Structure 1
Amino acid sequence: MPLIALLLAGLAIALEEVIQWQFGAMGLVAVALLTVGVKAKNTACLSIGAVVLVLLVQPVLG
Protein backbone atom coordinates (compact mmCIF):
# COMPACT_ATOMS: atom_id res chain seq x y z
CA MET A 1 0.00 0.00 0.00
CA PRO A 2 2.74 2.58 0.79
CA LEU A 3 4.32 1.85 -2.59
CA ILE A 4 1.08 2.70 -4.40
CA ALA A 5 0.72 5.93 -2.40
CA LEU A 6 4.31 6.85 -3.21
CA LEU A 7 3.79 6.20 -6.92
CA LEU A 8 0.60 8.25 -6.94
CA ALA A 9 2.32 11.13 -5.16
CA GLY A 10 5.15 11.03 -7.71
CA LEU A 11 2.65 11.00 -10.57
CA ALA A 12 0.80 13.98 -9.09
CA ILE A 13 4.03 15.96 -8.74
CA ALA A 14 5.04 15.10 -12.30
CA LEU A 15 1.62 16.14 -13.60
CA GLU A 16 1.82 19.47 -11.76
CA GLU A 17 5.28 20.13 -13.21
CA VAL A 18 4.11 19.38 -16.76
CA ILE A 19 1.07 21.63 -16.35
CA GLN A 20 3.19 24.44 -14.92
CA TRP A 21 5.70 24.08 -17.77
CA GLN A 22 2.95 24.05 -20.41
CA PHE A 23 0.51 26.60 -18.97
CA GLY A 24 2.52 28.63 -16.47
CA ALA A 25 1.43 29.82 -13.08
CA MET A 26 -2.27 29.93 -13.97
CA GLY A 27 -2.15 26.24 -14.82
CA LEU A 28 -0.66 25.51 -11.42
CA VAL A 29 -3.34 27.63 -9.74
CA ALA A 30 -6.05 25.77 -11.65
CA VAL A 31 -4.70 22.37 -10.60
CA ALA A 32 -4.39 23.57 -7.01
CA LEU A 33 -8.00 24.76 -7.04
CA LEU A 34 -9.11 21.43 -8.49
CA THR A 35 -7.20 19.53 -5.83
CA VAL A 36 -8.55 21.65 -2.98
CA GLY A 37 -12.06 21.40 -4.38
CA VAL A 38 -11.94 17.62 -4.56
CA LYS A 39 -10.36 17.11 -1.13
CA ALA A 40 -12.59 19.63 0.64
CA LYS A 41 -15.68 18.73 -1.44
CA ASN A 42 -15.99 22.40 -2.28
CA THR A 43 -17.84 22.76 -5.56
CA ALA A 44 -16.89 26.43 -5.97
CA CYS A 45 -13.13 25.71 -5.94
CA LEU A 46 -13.65 22.66 -8.12
CA SER A 47 -15.68 24.58 -10.69
CA ILE A 48 -13.32 27.57 -10.83
CA GLY A 49 -10.29 25.30 -11.21
CA ALA A 50 -11.97 23.29 -13.97
CA VAL A 51 -13.04 26.41 -15.88
CA VAL A 52 -9.57 27.98 -15.67
CA LEU A 53 -7.93 24.74 -16.82
CA VAL A 54 -10.36 24.40 -19.74
CA LEU A 55 -9.72 28.01 -20.77
CA LEU A 56 -5.96 27.37 -20.70
CA VAL A 57 -6.20 24.13 -22.66
CA GLN A 58 -8.63 25.43 -25.29
CA PRO A 59 -6.07 27.30 -27.50
CA VAL A 60 -3.79 24.25 -27.48
CA LEU A 61 -6.50 21.85 -28.61
CA GLY A 62 -8.38 23.95 -31.06
Structure 2
Amino acid sequence: MPAIALLSTLLVVGFEQFVQWRYGPCGVVGLLLLTVGLKIKSPACSSIGAIALALMFTGPVR
Protein backbone atom coordinates (compact mmCIF):
# COMPACT_ATOMS: atom_id res chain seq x y z
CA MET A 1 0.00 0.00 0.00
CA PRO A 2 2.77 2.56 0.73
CA ALA A 3 4.24 1.86 -2.71
CA ILE A 4 0.93 2.77 -4.39
CA ALA A 5 0.70 5.99 -2.38
CA LEU A 6 4.28 6.90 -3.27
CA LEU A 7 3.72 6.13 -6.94
CA SER A 8 0.53 8.21 -7.09
CA THR A 9 2.27 11.11 -5.32
CA LEU A 10 5.13 11.01 -7.80
CA LEU A 11 2.68 10.90 -10.68
CA VAL A 12 0.75 13.93 -9.39
CA VAL A 13 3.90 15.95 -8.72
CA GLY A 14 5.27 15.05 -12.15
CA PHE A 15 2.04 16.12 -13.85
CA GLU A 16 2.02 19.37 -11.88
CA GLN A 17 5.60 20.12 -12.94
CA PHE A 18 4.71 19.38 -16.58
CA VAL A 19 1.72 21.73 -16.45
CA GLN A 20 3.82 24.49 -14.91
CA TRP A 21 6.62 24.01 -17.42
CA ARG A 22 4.30 23.89 -20.42
CA TYR A 23 1.48 26.28 -19.47
CA GLY A 24 2.97 28.54 -16.79
CA PRO A 25 1.24 29.96 -13.72
CA CYS A 26 -2.21 29.99 -15.34
CA GLY A 27 -1.99 26.24 -15.84
CA VAL A 28 -1.07 25.75 -12.20
CA VAL A 29 -4.02 27.89 -11.10
CA GLY A 30 -6.36 25.83 -13.29
CA LEU A 31 -4.96 22.59 -11.89
CA LEU A 32 -5.25 23.94 -8.35
CA LEU A 33 -8.88 24.95 -8.87
CA LEU A 34 -9.66 21.53 -10.30
CA THR A 35 -8.06 19.58 -7.46
CA VAL A 36 -9.46 21.81 -4.71
CA GLY A 37 -12.92 21.60 -6.25
CA LEU A 38 -12.71 17.82 -6.33
CA LYS A 39 -11.46 17.62 -2.73
CA ILE A 40 -14.19 19.86 -1.30
CA LYS A 41 -16.82 18.51 -3.73
CA SER A 42 -17.57 21.89 -5.24
CA PRO A 43 -18.86 21.52 -8.81
CA ALA A 44 -18.38 25.21 -9.58
CA CYS A 45 -14.73 25.31 -8.50
CA SER A 46 -13.80 22.07 -10.25
CA SER A 47 -15.65 23.12 -13.41
CA ILE A 48 -13.79 26.43 -13.59
CA GLY A 49 -10.47 24.62 -13.17
CA ALA A 50 -11.36 22.00 -15.78
CA ILE A 51 -12.46 24.64 -18.28
CA ALA A 52 -9.29 26.67 -17.70
CA LEU A 53 -7.12 23.59 -18.29
CA ALA A 54 -9.12 22.54 -21.34
CA LEU A 55 -8.75 25.99 -22.88
CA MET A 56 -5.01 25.92 -22.29
CA PHE A 57 -4.58 22.40 -23.65
CA THR A 58 -6.50 23.16 -26.84
CA GLY A 59 -5.19 26.68 -27.37
CA PRO A 60 -2.28 27.70 -29.55
CA VAL A 61 1.17 26.67 -28.35
CA ARG A 62 3.46 29.56 -27.44
Q: State TM-score, norm by structure 2.
A: 0.91
1:32 aligned to 2:35?
no
The CA deviation at 1:58 is 1.3
- Which residues of structure 2 form unaligned runs of 5+? none
- 1:7 corresponds to which residue? 7
Amino acid at match of 2:46: L
1:60 Cα deviation from its structure 2 partner: 4.5
Residue number in structure 2 paired with 1:45: 45
Question: Structure 1: which 4+ aligned runs deviate by more than 3 Å?
Answer: none
Give the gaps of 5 or more residues in structure 1.
Answer: none
Q: What's 1:23 paired with?
A: 23
User: 3-state SS of the aligned residue for 1:41?
Assistant: coil
Aligned residues: 61
- The one-letter amino acid paired with 1:53 is L
